[in-house]
Amino acid sequence: MTWRRVAIAESVDAAVRESESQGTRMGLDVTASEAHSQFLSDLPHMSEVSKSHEEFMGQVGNMPESTRMANSEVTTIGEMVADLGGSIEGGYMEIPMPSANRSGIFLEVMEGESGTIARIIAPSGFGGFLRTFSLPTGSFISDATWNGHTLGLSLDDHS
């Protein structure tokens, strides 16, 4: 059993907003998160921090799977969405992910004897989090998209 990464696409609406906001904004219309991101992107020493972080994450990635799974409780998809303040409607769910760095958030799935489980890995300055959850029997994640700072997941049925 190995984890397989699921690509998270950018929604069309979010991509348009992102391209419109590529210019540097200043003044009262900039959010604290945007100002912080601009500040960090202009610091030359951040490349060292980023490199150290990548090295550390590479070491964590080499930990035995059994060690990582032992430290991660598997919940139901409903519990996970409720814990993160999201919503489920039919086969579609939305999960708020207010991280400034969406490129560091990963979605992975693994087929097991007891069904499919998925996990969301989101690093942060305070250690981040790992949420592991089981999908309903016979279900799989057919689509994953960003809509702003919300992760949208579509589930389909194998049968």
* CATH number where 88 lies: 2.60.40
53-95 per-position pLDDT tens digit:
666 666 655 555 544 454 558 899 999 999 889 999 989 999 9
Could you identify the residue written with the tokens 């991509």?
15
pLDDT score of 21: 47
Q: What is the pLDDT of residue 42?
A: 59
142 touches 157 (CB < 8 A): no
What is the mean pLDDT, run by run of 10 residues, along the chain of 159 residues?
Answer: 90 52 58 67 62 64 50 82 90 83 86 88 74 91 91 88
pLDDT score of 154: 95
Share of the chain above pLDDT 70, in %: 58
Q: What's the domain count of the chain? A: 1
- Does 144 reside within a domain? yes
Q: Is residue 103 part of a domain?
A: yes
What pLDDT is recorded for position 16?
Answer: 46
